[in-house]
Amino acid sequence: MKKYHQASWNEPLLIEMSKSGRQAFSLPELKPEVLSAINEDRPENLIPEKMRRKTDLLLPEVSEPEIVRHYVRLSQMNFGIDLGMYPLGSCTMKYNPKVSERIAKNPKFSGLHPYQDEQTVQGILEILYELQSLLCEITGMSAFSLSPAAGAQGEFVGALIIRNFLNDCGYSSKKDEMLVPDSAHGTNPASAAMTGFKVVKIPSSEGGIVTAEAVKKVISERTAGMMLTVPNTLGIFEREIGEVSSIVHDAGGLMYYDGANMNALLGRVKPGEMGFDIVHLNVHKTFATPHGGGGPGAGPVGVVDKLSEYLPVPVIVRKGGEGYGFDYNRPRSIGRIKSFYGNVGVLLRAYCYILSLGKDGLKTVSEQAVLASNYLLSKLDRRYYSLRYSTDQPRKHEFVVSASPLKRKTGVSAGDISKAILDSGNHSPTVYFPLIVDEALMIEPTETEPVEFLDQYATILNELAERANQSPESILKAPERTSISRIDEYRASHPGSLVLNWRYLLDGAKKKKDDDNKGKRNGSSNSRKDS
Ligand SMILES: Cc1ncc(COP(=O)(O)O)c(C=O)c1O
């Protein structure tokens, strides 16, 4: 295996590198014909006096090479799917094909402005309209909204649609319970609660699924709906989904499909065929779009016919002979949930991915994703990594093993393994989720990893377990080849430590700048030389 060592730069912030008067780029003087067109010698006069800046804008003043080096150095301290495997189950980063990147960056798309007149953006509107239709075809829904910015926002939209629809049906507050299995992603109960529903937890069966029997125990006239991920977060297909959907529908509730795991089912089965009424898709998980560090992402939401009026506005429609346009006139809509029309660049990448693979290609994606996951699982040493629930059954696109045998034997936990794996130049699996598996390691290799990488990843995990057996302390010290080693996890995620300090930095930079200006006015030489 190639040796990995991440760069470690002691990199300051750009504002800390700032030197008065230094520039990377200077705008040209306005041409005389522009000045005469606006009828002003000084364009700033077009801005009302009281709205003009009185002080300089506090931006870092740095040269172009400094900026380039700054960002290249930061990128060297980062990790991404273009560098190594990233099998972060559930929140997986799929490889983003370069052809989609190239198309999305084409200035014909990236140069568009959301305030442009509809008639001048017919091309992108046609693409988005087609994408809505493709997603309907893939999921078996009747209408789609591309607005939501992420899966979690899609869930919130779906829960709002359920609430408004039930209110219009006259149920008002009588239907106030949302069923959510204990294997669900945390965003499911959160979205339901934010919409005002009481969350009713359904325990997973011995086989790791939601059974019709478990649903019958909690279903009542108060049931508004159920949020379900298929395959679930254990990577297991919900075999009783047909019966479960019927029970919820018979009680007057709606079925919500968390489509984060649609990668496993592409071209095989549609959520609509399983009885779902509302679907969200995580395009970063299913259609290979970027979604790092919380965004920008996209979580389109699809619905069956009877719910289409409730979708967020605007909906992109075909306006007969006039081409495509935005429809805001939807009295039953839950309203606007995102500025403009969603993250168009991300949606464009999803469109490219779907078209470049075609129907058969998408089918191959799910086939390969499931094969890769089961292959990797079969290579793991079960003495250290045990499987829970339906142990004799294959998984779908991801699987969850428990490192508790390893922990019992050596004291090394799933979290320790996840740190140590970073030293190999790969990303760790998701740890401690789903909550129903202790010492969980959740692995989703995706369809794009060649078999050698799957072998390598399994070997690394098995070797780490062996090492933990022989010298657990060596694992507890890891990672040692990354830019930073272990951090104080409690403080790193504690609200008290997350206070942004840019204001503090800006205040410092402003003081420096004021001092500089004072120095200049006094005719003294600047102590910071711009050499
Ligand atoms: C099962 C499941 N549901 C919902 C989400 C939330 O999606 P997002 O991160 O796009 O908000 C995720 C995250 O990937 C997920 O794995």
- Say yes or no: 245 and 121 in one domain: yes
- Say yes or no: 143 and 239 in one domain: yes
- Go through 404-437 and write b for each residue having 16 or more CB atoms within 10 A of its CB, e for each that does not: bbbbeebebbbbbbbbbbbbbbbbbbbbebbebb
Range in 15-19, 69-73, 131-135, 277-281 with the lowest mean pLDDT: 15-19
CA of 187 to the centre of ligand 1 (A): 7
**From CA 14, how far away is CA 525, in angstroms rounded?**
23
CA of 90 to the centre of ligand 1 (A): 7
164, 195 contact by CB (below 8 A): no
SS3 category, 214: helix
Nearest-atom number in ligand 1 for the CA of 233 is: 1
Residues in the chain: 531
In this predicted structure, what is the pLDDT of residue 309?
98
**From CA 287, how far away is CA 94, in angstroms rounded?**
8
CA of 192 to the centre of ligand 1 (A): 14
The yes-or-no verdict on residue 495 having pLDDT over 80 is no
Sheet of 301-303, strands arranged across: 143-145, 301-303, 278-281, 254-259, 223-229, 177-181, 198-202
Identify the domain boundary among 42, 66, 86. Answer: 86
Domain of residue 454: give its range: 366-487
Which of 86, 88, 90, 256 to probe ligand 1 with, by most ligand atoms within 8 A of CB? 90
In this predicted structure, what is the pLDDT of residue 510?
66
CA of 60 to the centre of ligand 1 (A): 36
CA of 421 to the centre of ligand 1 (A): 23
497 part of a folded domain:
no
Nearest-atom number in ligand 1 for the CA of 291 is: 10
Nearest-atom number in ligand 1 for the CA of 153 is: 11
For the chain, the average pLDDT equals 92
| Nearest protein Cα to ligand 1, atom 14 | 91
Q: Is the dihedral of CA 391, 242, 228, 258 positive or negative?
A: positive
Identify the domain boundary among 333, 356, 379. Answer: 356
CA of 505 to the centre of ligand 1 (A): 34
Tell me what the mean pLDDT of segment 170-195 comes to: 94
Two structure tokens written together for 489: 């996890």
pLDDT (tens digit, 9 = 90+) per residue, 381-430?
999 999 999 999 999 999 999 999 999 999 999 999 999 999 999 999 99
343 part of a folded domain:
yes
Cα 60 to Cα 64, 120, 529: the distances in Å are 12, 36, 16
CA of 106 to the centre of ligand 1 (A): 29
91 part of a folded domain:
no
| Nearest protein Cα to ligand 1, atom 9 | 151
CA of 373 to the centre of ligand 1 (A): 19
232 part of a folded domain:
yes
103 part of a folded domain:
no
193 part of a folded domain:
yes
Confidence class of residue 466 from pLDDT cuts 50, 70 and 90? very high
Which of 86, 88, 91, 153 to probe ligand 1 with, by most ligand atoms within 8 A of CB? 91
- Say yes or no: 128 and 195 in one domain: yes
456, 431 contact by CB (below 8 A): no
Tell me what the mean pLDDT of segment 154-179 comes to: 95
In this predicted structure, what is the pLDDT of residue 136?
98
The amino acid that residue 412 corresponds to is V
434 part of a folded domain:
yes
- CATH number for the domain that contains residue 463: 3.90.1150.10
pLDDT (tens digit, 9 = 90+) per residue, 441-453?
999 999 999 999 9
CA of 402 to the centre of ligand 1 (A): 21
Confidence class of residue 235 from pLDDT cuts 50, 70 and 90? very high
CA of 261 to the centre of ligand 1 (A): 9
**Residues in contact with ligand 1 (CB, 6 Å cut-off):** 90-91, 150-152, 185, 187, 229, 233, 258, 260, 282, 285, 297, 299
In this predicted structure, what is the pLDDT of residue 489?
81
- CATH number for the domain that contains residue 207: 3.40.640.10
Nearest-atom number in ligand 1 for the CA of 91 is: 14
Tell me what the mean pLDDT of segment 223-249 comes to: 98
- Say yes or no: 278 and 146 in one domain: yes
| Nearest protein Cα to ligand 1, atom 13 | 91
- Say yes or no: 122 and 44 in one domain: no
Query: What is the pTM for the complete model shown?
Result: 0.89
pLDDT (tens digit, 9 = 90+) per residue, 256-276?
999 999 999 999 999 999 999
Tell me what the mean pLDDT of segment 282-299 comes to: 83
- Say yes or no: 268 and 384 in one domain: no
Helices (H), 292-343: none
- Say yes or no: 194 and 298 in one domain: yes
Identify the domain boundary among 86, 102, 129. Answer: 86
In this predicted structure, what is the pLDDT of residue 379?
98
The yes-or-no verdict on residue 524 having pLDDT over 70 is no
In this predicted structure, what is the pLDDT of residue 488?
85
| Nearest protein Cα to ligand 1, atom 10 | 151
Which of 187, 278, 397 to probe ligand 1 with, by most ligand atoms within 8 A of CB? 187
- Say yes or no: 191 and 304 in one domain: yes
Q: How many domains does the chain have?
A: 3
For residue 201, which phi and psi values (nearest 5 degrees)? Answer: -85, 135
- Say yes or no: 129 and 261 in one domain: yes
- Say yes or no: 80 and 151 in one domain: no
- Say yes or no: 283 and 156 in one domain: yes
- Say yes or no: 143 and 162 in one domain: yes
465 part of a folded domain:
yes
CA of 107 to the centre of ligand 1 (A): 30
